[in-house]
Structure 1
Amino acid sequence: MKSDIDNYIENNHQNNFEKEEAYIRAKKKVEKIVGFYWHFAIYIVVNIFLMIMIYSKSGEPFWSFAVWSTPLFWGIGIGFHFLGVFGTDFLFGKNWEERKIEKYMNKEKDNKRWE
């Protein structure tokens, strides 16, 4: 038969394990976010340099495809990296639909005049 102390030790051990797991998940998420920001910073710097070089050396107009092709295609890759890090819930978030439905129902309720 286990004593109360044994249950306390097991629960404490489990609690520490869960905290450590949460810490590891949070640390990995932060590392992914930092990696995205570095990727985005490099994207900005390199593409400004490339656009200036292509524009000055090729004689093409600034708004031509030759000048903007690298930022365009690399930008698509940045977009996928963004979705991989922040997920599709970034814009709408969790429970977005429910919040919007509740908002519009409350708005309609407030605007309704009972006679």
Structure 2
Amino acid sequence: MDTNNISKQERAAEKIKQIKGFYIHLTIYVIMNIAIIAVNTVAQINNGWSVFDALFFFGHLITPAAWGLGLFFHGMKVFGFRTFFSKEWEERQIKKYLDEEKKEYEKYK
């Protein structure tokens, strides 16, 4: 078998492993944060807080926010950070303007 194909296959397998790891991380994030918020809400209600106050207590948001930030960067690493003004976007814009100029030029030929 060609060594180039092996390395492509290994890279593809590694990428799939990274994507799978991200989705496992996301699943654990959702399950654990639901559990943490539920336990904290019940504890606050038992301490005499109203349901509304207990659900929207700032302390509940610290864990999901901090962990969510980590999850965000994990996703950025796995899926790649693509900004709106990426290199590909610049190339598409240049091609678009060159095509427009070419059409204008051909119009007056």
Q: Normalized against structure 1, the TM-score is what?
A: 0.69
**Which residue type is aligned with residue 99 of structure 1?**
R
Gaps of 5+ in 2: none
Choose which of 11, 21, 44 in structure 2 pairs with 1:35.
21
Higher relative contact order structure (alpha carbons within 8 Å, sequence separation ≥ 6): 2
Amino acid at match of 2:35: F
Matched, 1:72 2:72: no
Distance of 1:67 and 1:79 partners within structure 2? 19
CA displacement at 1:56 relative to structure 2? 1.8
Work out the CA distance in 2 between the residues paired with 1:55 and 1:61. 5
2:82 corresponds to 1:96:
no
**Paired AA for residue 92 in structure 2:** R
How many Å separate the matches in 2 of 1:63 and 1:25? 44
SS at match of 1:21: helix
Select the structure of larger CA radius of gyration.
1
Q: Give 4+ residue runs of structure 1 displaced > 4 Å after superposition.
A: 90-94
Structure 1 match to 2:42: 56
Deviation at 1:89, TM superposition (A): 2.6
Aligned residue pair count? 97
Q: CA deviation digits over 1:4-59, x for unaligned, max 9?
A: xxxxxxxxx6xx00000000011001000000000001100110111111112123
How far apart, in 2, do the equivalents of 1:91 and 1:27 lie?
28
* CA distance in 1: counterparts of 2:21 and 2:60, whole angstroms: 27
Question: Where does the alignment leave 5 or more consecutive residues of structure 1 unmatched?
Answer: 1-12
> What SS does the aligned partner of 2:34 have?
helix
Change (3 A) 1:71 1:30: same
